[in-house]
Amino acid sequence: MPIRVLDPKVVSRIAAGEVVERPASVVKELVENSLDAGSSQISIETRGGGVSLIRVMDNGVGIPAGEVELAFDRYATSKIGSLDDLESISSLGFRGEALPSIAAVAQVDIVTCVAGKSVGTYLSLNDGVIENKGSQGHPQGTTVTVRNLFRRVPARLKFLKSPTTENSHIANVVSQYALAFPEVKFTLFIDGRTALRTPGRGYLIDSVIEVYGVEVAQNMLEMRDGEWESRTVYPGITGMVGSPVVSRSNRACLSFFINRRWVNSRLLTWAVEEAYHRLLPQGKHPITIINISLPHQEVDINVHPTKTEVKFQNEHMVFTTVQKAVRRALIELMPVPKIEATATTYVSTPQPRQAALTSPSASVITSPPVAPQTPAVALPVLRILGQLSSSYIIAEGPDGLYLIDQHAAHERVLFEKVKHQRSRQEIEVQGLLEPVTFEVNPKQEEVLKSHYQNLAEFGFSIEPFGDRTYLVRAVPVLLYDKDWAAMMRQLLDSLSGGDWAESIAVSIACHSAVTAGQALTDGEMRELIRQLEQTAIPHTCPHGRPTMIRLSSGQLAREFGRG
Ligand code: ADP
Ligand code: MG
């Protein structure tokens, strides 16, 4: 065949194929247009899996009579005007391709009316060609009706799945936008049945209830906008994440919206799954709704015709921020066991759970993981008020006063850090300027001999020097300016059976942690609490003693005779 320029009809049908893959794509494009038009109510109706009929009705701004035809021209859009605008798109649409693409593969009717007009404009097209136009009554807004989708494109029709499957894709699209726009009232009718109806009151939880049901909604944790990091540098993250009790066996319930655009992103999926690491069993996936707001120039949405793929300028930053925000919500908001007691009480975890978490079998040595590790407890957000006796941090929490033992808290932090570093063979070691001799008694020598290697794994480099004397060449960085010789003696005296790795880690943590009587700056206290929040078991030190006690607001009220 000689080379020739394709007929415009063929061109538009090829182009349509990129935008309109299946009925759900039509629904997506029409709903996006309705949202861009500022609608507060969007009603969607489909029949026959969306092939026979798709109708989207909105109460948005409408299209002026003189522009309705233009809306069906390729690359006709009211949303951007120049190349510069492409850098700062805040609307969902901008390519001006949806209406012409849909019209190229179906029969389309549109009735639209702008504010202040008593009568609307009507236009009907068949396979992209205008068949009819005129006036028709319509309240302010737009109704687009699409019939007989793909009737002239049998190849496409053949690839469609059963109406049930196509319906579920349609319901998913509408659900996603209902989650992204809780202030919009969505109604979806599938073959005459109401499949979804949101109240449009502006609360995400309402949409969650409609989309996932009450049980899931009760187990969602809300993420607040990035209080924890400076908003000038990081993107804002809001939304909800499911507590691990409501997981699913596929990734369909991970929703991401960037500047309110529904997107797919492997990067974001990965960030979320990292945040749930060890909280969900293998093969289980969370339910999350994550809204990311980013400066427009930091995300390129124009990388795919359906605008569902995006590219971030700073992937690393987006990744860590999302991961941290999700993790934070999970750790902070998972329910803290309630303590019912009249006296001042330890903030403690139920014993069995705690034992399981601190026992050697739960440490990194075990593989494969038998059960998911759920952080037993989470710390509430604490506001630091000051330091008492240079030993305790005084803080205010959502339910009363917290006194934190700075040494015990730091021990917990360092203990987990040391164990973690050892498991990755990342213990930081500090060589001594000159080797130091270290003398031991016979009993200590016995223990030392059998634990050379174990001690080496934790960063001690020790060699025999004859006559119950040893040469120490390096110690863990944490102990460099501490009394590591005293620590070694104590350890050798206590290291009998049991879990030696645990014992060594406890001993290192104990001897390198800040001590009671050490004055701390506000910054140091905040940092300590921040690190404590990130531990698996913040409420106890590795010896099993509490790191904090709490005086609840109720107790305070009672003590002061207010209650
Ligand atoms: P795009 O959304 O990329 O601009 P479309 O082909 O989807 O392209 O729509 C073309 C134009 O038609 C839009 O820019 C908008 O001006 C107008 N339009 C489409 N749907 C609606 C609607 N529901 N309400 C108001 N205007 C609409
Ligand atoms: Mg559009």
This prediction's pTM: 0.62
Token duo for residue 468: 């119950």
Q: For ligand 1, say whether the CB of 59 is within 6 Å of any of its atoms.
A: no
Mean pLDDT of 97-107: 93
Mean pLDDT of 227-234: 45
- pLDDT interval class at 559 (50, 70, 90): confident
Q: Cα(28)–Cα(30) distance, rounded to whole angstroms?
A: 6
- pLDDT interval class at 498 (50, 70, 90): low
Which pLDDT belongs to residue 246?
A: 87
Q: For ligand 1, say whether the CB of 50 is within 6 Å of any of its atoms.
A: no
Sheet strands (E) in 50-103: 53-58
Sign of the CA dihedral 196, 202, 208, 213?
negative
Do residues 472 and 432 lie in contact, with contact meaning Cβ atoms separated by under 8 Å? yes
Which pLDDT belongs to residue 77?
A: 84
- pLDDT interval class at 56 (50, 70, 90): very high
Percent of all residues in the chain with a pLDDT value above 90, rounded to a whole number: 52
Q: What DSSP element (H or E) covers 144?
A: strand 141-147
Q: Cα(317)–Cα(296) distance, rounded to whole angstroms?
A: 15
What average pLDDT is seen over the chain?
A: 84
Q: Cα(148)–Cα(144) distance, rounded to whole angstroms?
A: 14
Q: What is the pLDDT of residues 262-293, one digit of tens each?
A: 999 999 999 999 888 777 777 889 999 999 99
DSSP, collapsed to helix, strand or coil, labels residue 134 as strand
Q: For ligand 1, say whether the CB of 37 is within 6 Å of any of its atoms.
A: yes
Higher pLDDT, 419 or 340: 419
The alpha carbon of 345 and the centre of ligand 1 are apart by a number of angstroms equal to 62
Nearest ligand, CA of residue 35? 1
Q: What is the residue with the minimal CA distance to atom 14 of ligand 1?
A: 77
Q: For ligand 1, say whether the CB of 226 is within 6 Å of any of its atoms.
A: no
Higher pLDDT, 141 or 79: 141
Q: How far is CA 442 from CA 37, 468, 483, in A?
A: 84, 7, 21
Q: What is the pLDDT of residues 341-395, one digit of tens each?
A: 333 334 443 333 222 222 222 222 222 222 333 344 567 788 899 999 999 999 9
Sign of the CA dihedral 68, 74, 79, 80?
negative
Q: Which of 111-115, 418-422, 494-498 has the lowest mean pLDDT?
A: 494-498
Do residues 303 and 192 lie in contact, with contact meaning Cβ atoms separated by under 8 Å? no
Which pLDDT belongs to residue 223?
A: 86
Do residues 396 and 383 lie in contact, with contact meaning Cβ atoms separated by under 8 Å? yes
Give the residue, out of 55, 68, 99, with the most ligand 1 atoms within 8 A of its beta carbon, to mutate for a pocket test. 99
Which atom from ligand 1 is nearest to the alpha carbon of 34? 23
Which pLDDT belongs to residue 499?
A: 75
The alpha carbon of 419 and the centre of ligand 1 are apart by a number of angstroms equal to 58
Q: For ligand 1, say whether the CB of 77 is within 6 Å of any of its atoms.
A: yes
Mean pLDDT of 404-433: 93
Which pLDDT belongs to residue 353?
A: 29
Which pLDDT belongs to residue 352?
A: 30
The alpha carbon of 472 and the centre of ligand 2 are apart by a number of angstroms equal to 71
Sign of the CA dihedral 277, 281, 282, 286?
negative
Q: What is the pLDDT of residues 143-168, one digit of tens each?
A: 999 999 999 888 888 889 999 999 99
Q: For ligand 1, say whether the CB of 72 is within 6 Å of any of its atoms.
A: no
Do residues 285 and 244 lie in contact, with contact meaning Cβ atoms separated by under 8 Å? no
Percent of all residues in the chain with a pLDDT value above 70, rounded to a whole number: 88
Which atom from ligand 1 is nearest to the alpha carbon of 142? 23
